[in-house]
Amino acid sequence: MAEGRLVIGTKMYSSWSLRGWLAVRLAGLAVEEVVIPLAGGATEAVKQATPAGLVPYLEHGGARIWESLAIAEYCAELAPGLWPADRAARAHARSIAAEMHAGFRGLRMAMPMSILNRFPGQGRTPEALADIARIEAIWREALEKSGGPFLFGEAFGAADAMFAPVACRFLTWEPALAEVSRAYVQAVRAHPLMRRWYDEAAAEPAAWRLDKYEQAPSA
Ligand X SMILES: N[C@@H](CCC(=O)N[C@@H](CS)C(=O)NCC(=O)O)C(=O)O
Residues 161, 200 contacting (CB under 8 angstroms): no
Closest CA to 158 of 56, 4, 23, 37: 23
Distance of CA 112 to the CA centre of its chain: 12
Residue 96 near ligand X by CB under 6 A: no
- Closer residue to ligand X in complex, CB, 83/149: 83
How far apart, in whole angstroms, are the C-alpha atoms of residue 216 and residue 131? 19
Among residues 7 and 143, whose Cβ is nearest to ligand X? 7
Q: How far is the CB of 168 from ligand X (least distance, A)?
A: 12
| Least distance to ligand X, CB of residue 38, Å | 4
The one among 12, 37, 65, 67 contacting ligand X by CB under 6 A: 67
- In this structure, the chain runs to a length of 219
Asked if residue 14 binds ligand X (CB under 6 A), the reply is yes
| C-alpha span between 77 and 158 (Å, rounded) | 12
Site for ligand X in 23-62 (CB under 6 A): 38-39, 41-43, 46, 54-56
DSSP secondary structure letter of residue 96: H
Q: Which residues pair with 58 in a beta bridge?
A: 6, 65
**Of 11, 16, 122, 152, which one interacts with ligand X (CB under 6 A)?**
16
Using CB under 6 A, which of 6, 7, 9, 111 touches ligand X?
9
Sites of contact with ligand X (CB under 6 A): 9, 14-17, 38-39, 41-43, 46, 54-56, 67-69, 101
